[in-house]
Amino acid sequence: MREGTCSGCGLTAPIGSFYGISGKLYCEPCSWKEERTAAERGEKLEKISVVDGSVCARCKTRAEATGAADFPICKGVPLCPNCQQQIQNWPYPVWLKASLAGLLILLAVALVHGRKYFHAGRVMYAGERLVEQGKYKEAVPLLKEADGVAPQSDKASLLLAKAALRIGDVVTAQKALQAHDAGHYETSGDSQEVSALWNRATAALEKADKASDLEGQPGKAEEAEALMRQASAEYPEMAQLATAIPYFEAGSAFDRKDYDRFLAISEGIWKAQPDSANAAGQLAGALACKYAVSGDPSFRTRSEEMMGKAQQLSHGDHAAQQSEQEYAERLKYRMDTREIINKQEYDRRFRGGKETK
Amino acid sequence: MFFIPGFVVSLVTFPGVIVHEAAHLFFCKLFRLAVFDVCFFRVGNLAGYVIHETTDNFRALFFVGIGPFIINTLLCMVFCTAAFLPVWELKIDDPLAYFFYWLGLSIGMHAFPSSVDLTNIWTVAPDLAKKGNVLAIVSLPLVAVLHVLNFARVIWADLGYGIAVGILGPIAIFKTLART
């Protein structure tokens, strides 16, 4: 390391710490003094840092050790050949490259491993958009997929429950809600909306259940009909409730012994549901009533035809078949005796009071 | 606001520091600037640094200074996107997803350029902007906002930025994908 002497104060120090002004060397404090003096004279001095080329500025290697007098000045500083090479093309460390490669591999693994999440997310967002557009029926299958992958997701299960409740699919909504932390959610706008929907739906279903119970009791058909109407009005999204109303209307008409009305309603149900064994059986019952009160054999013939259709339609459904069998027995009695009695009375007289389904 | 020493934050989010310095180095090499020293990570007040030559090339100055902001933001979005669905939306306990989310947030937290880098750009940009340099014009509001955010680090603006990029970015990506 070369040394120099300050032209101002005579200080001897490494030459790299000096400044050159008008061809003379100055230490830093003296260089400031020279600048101030020149400024007072209205002059501006050219002040340059002195570079000591005998030592590499980075690695401190002495030039004489490499056989050179001075190292070349590169980017304003003296640098040995190794450092020159290094600063011009600083290499990325091996560990950095290895880490980057490792990260990329991990990222690829995460992307492959996360395919099912991406799919679930995609269908969830698509379902969310459909829900926002009020296309609940189309949203349900997509949201079912998302909820299947992530039942603990508030968003997926609330969206599914909401969409399902909006189309009257209470079973799907119940499954989604129960699968999520036993129905517990953080309070949010969505959870409150679903909760309100759920409460409305379950209140309506309770009324519908009660209506079904009442319908089986003698003289309660009108009350049952009124309850079912209330249930349907409270939860119009569930089409089955509205569909059930005519059956309850028919029950009321039967209770009032208004067999013309009973027949008209039953004809309407059959027209609306030509594949339903229940509807066929109901019409057979109404025709049997008409035969019983009028004695017109055409009603009997039609009643027997409809009963045959009911049996055909219930084929393969054990519960429906049992129900049709029970009903057929009563209708035969109704037409053979031309006496109209309800099920309870029939059970009391001929089945030892034992209720049948 | 609770106080956590800077070195603890740096330790917990060290990948972000490394990516930040690697981004500086990448742009230095891209613009062929001499690099005198690099520290990718250390436990201390300055968790990492790249010492490079000064330049009159504003493009080089801009990208070397702002580079980490661009690279860290992009990587934060990539890694958080890979983990966003299981962690945030689907609530699935997947360790790999949590690892990627930590990685993404760590990188995002160190996106802000240092005050020195911003000052270097801020010193030169106004004159160049007056001369119609588009990059300088664009850089002025960006650097101003980043300066403010840099000061707001004391109230965890860096973490807030990481979270914002790591959540809003993936949401935007997936919502766009859902529309296709």
Q: State the sign of the Cα–Cα–Cα–Cα dihedral B172, A172, A131, A199.
A: negative
For the stretch A222-256, pLDDT in tens is: 999 999 999 999 999 999 999 899 999 999 999 89
Cα of B179 to nearest chain A Cα, Å: 7
**Contact status of A76 with chain B (Cβ, < 8 Å):** yes
What are the structure tokens assigned to B47, written together? Answer: 């968790």
**Where is average pLDDT lowest: A151-165, B23-37, B56-70, B78-92?**
B78-92
- Mean pLDDT of chain A, nearest integer: 90
For the stretch A166-214, pLDDT in tens is: 999 999 999 999 888 877 888 888 899 999 999 999 999 999 999 999 9
List the single residue in B35, B40, B90 with the smallest CB-CB distance to A117: B90
Between chains, do B100 and A106 touch, taking CB under 8 Å as contact?
Answer: yes
Between chains, do B96 and A109 touch, taking CB under 8 Å as contact?
Answer: yes
| Within this chain, domains A115-184 and A201-350 share the same CATH topology | yes
Question: What residues are paired with A77 via a beta bridge?
Answer: A74
Q: What percent of chain A has pLDDT over 90?
A: 55
For the stretch B110-145, pLDDT in tens is: 999 999 999 999 999 999 999 999 999 999 999 999
Between chains, do A114 and B97 touch, taking CB under 8 Å as contact?
Answer: yes
Between chains, do B174 and A93 touch, taking CB under 8 Å as contact?
Answer: no
What are the structure tokens assigned to A286, written together? Answer: 């109404």
List the single residue in B37, B82, B174 with the smallest CB-CB distance to A114: B82
Task: Tell me the pLDDT band of A355, cut-offs 50, 70 and 90.
Answer: low
**Where is average pLDDT lowest: A47-61, A221-235, B17-31, B40-54?**
A47-61
Task: Tell me the pLDDT band of A298, cut-offs 50, 70 and 90.
Answer: very high
Instruction: Tell me which long-range contacts A14-22 makes (C-beta under 8 A, separation of at least 24).
Output: A14/A52, A15/A50, A15/A52, A16/A50, A16/A51, A16/A52, A16/A55, A18/A50, A19/A47, A19/A48, A19/A49, A19/A50, A20/A47, A20/A48, A20/A49, A20/A50, A21/A45, A21/A46, A21/A47, A21/A48, A22/A46
CA closest to B103 among chain A residues: A103
Q: What percent of chain A has pLDDT over 70?
A: 98
- Domain A201-350 falls in which CATH fold? 1.25.40
Tell me, what's the pLDDT at A141?
Answer: 96
List the single residue in B29, B78, B85 with the smallest CB-CB distance to A117: B85
**Contact status of B31 with chain A (Cβ, < 8 Å):** no
Please tell me the pTM assigned to this model. 0.69
Between chains, do A110 and B82 touch, taking CB under 8 Å as contact?
Answer: yes
Tell me, what's the pLDDT at A142?
Answer: 95
Tell me, what's the pLDDT at A166?
Answer: 96
- Of A132, A123, A131, A130, nearest to A153 by C-alpha is A123
CB A306 within 8 A of CB A288: no
Task: Tell me the pLDDT band of A47, cut-offs 50, 70 and 90.
Answer: confident
CB B24 within 8 A of CB B64: yes
List the single residue in B22, B40, B174 with the smallest CB-CB distance to A121: B174
Question: What residues are paired with A14 via a beta bridge?
Answer: A3
- Of A199, A176, A254, A179, nearest to A221 by C-alpha is A254
- Of B74, B84, B71, nearest to B167 by C-alpha is B84
What are the structure tokens assigned to A246, written together? Answer: 């005519």
Higher pLDDT, B45 or A204: A204
Between chains, do A76 and B179 touch, taking CB under 8 Å as contact?
Answer: no
pLDDT at A333 over 60: yes
Residues 6+ apart with CB under 8 A from A183: A177
Most confident residue range from A116-120, A134-138, B40-44, B148-152:
A134-138
Tell me, what's the pLDDT at B173?
Answer: 85
Q: What φ, ψ does residue A53 adopt, rounded to 5°?
A: -80, 0
Task: Tell me the pLDDT band of B1, cut-offs 50, 70 and 90.
Answer: low
Strands of chain B (E only): list them.
Answer: 35-39, 49-52
Average pLDDT over residues B149-176: 88
**Contact status of A148 with chain B (Cβ, < 8 Å):** no
Helix (H) or strand (E) holding B163: helix B157-179
For the stretch A89-130, pLDDT in tens is: 899 999 999 999 998 998 888 888 888 888 898 899 999 999
- Which candidate in B89, B103, B171, B174 is best for mutational testing of the A interface (most A CBs within 10 A)? B89
What are the structure tokens assigned to B73, written together? Answer: 């933001």
**Where is average pLDDT lowest: A29-43, A131-145, A199-213?**
A29-43
Query: What is the architecture of the domain spanning A115-184?
Result: Alpha Horseshoe (1.25)
**Where is average pLDDT lowest: A20-24, A34-38, B3-7, B161-165?**
B3-7
Tell me, what's the pLDDT at A353?
Answer: 63
- Mean pLDDT of chain B, nearest integer: 90
Task: Tell me the pLDDT band of B76, cut-offs 50, 70 and 90.
Answer: very high
**Contact status of B39 with chain A (Cβ, < 8 Å):** no
Tell me, what's the pLDDT at A343?
Answer: 86
Cα of B168 to nearest chain A Cα, Å: 14
Tell me, what's the pLDDT at B137?
Answer: 95
Domain positions in chain A are 3-88, 115-184, 201-350
Tell me, what's the pLDDT at A332?
Answer: 93
Tell me, what's the pLDDT at A354?
Answer: 62
Distance CA B178, CA B171 (A): 10
Cβ pairs A/B, distance under 8 A: 94
Task: Tell me the pLDDT band of A268, cut-offs 50, 70 and 90.
Answer: very high
Between chains, do B34 and A153 touch, taking CB under 8 Å as contact?
Answer: no
Tell me, what's the pLDDT at B60?
Answer: 95
Contacts of B53 in chain A (CB under 8 A): 75-76, 87
pLDDT at B4 over 80: no
Residues 6+ apart with CB under 8 A from A53: A63, A69, A70, A71, A72, A73, A78
pLDDT at B57 over 90: yes
Tell me, what's the pLDDT at B62?
Answer: 95
List the single residue in A76, A87, A120 with the smallest CB-CB distance to B35: A87
pLDDT at A356 over 60: no
User: Which residue type occupies A62?
Assistant: R
Tell me, what's the pLDDT at A107?
Answer: 85
**Contact status of B85 with chain A (Cβ, < 8 Å):** yes
Distance CA A193, CA A78 (A): 74
Distance CA A241, CA A304 (A): 29
Cα of B88 to nearest chain A Cα, Å: 9
Tell me, what's the pLDDT at A4?
Answer: 86
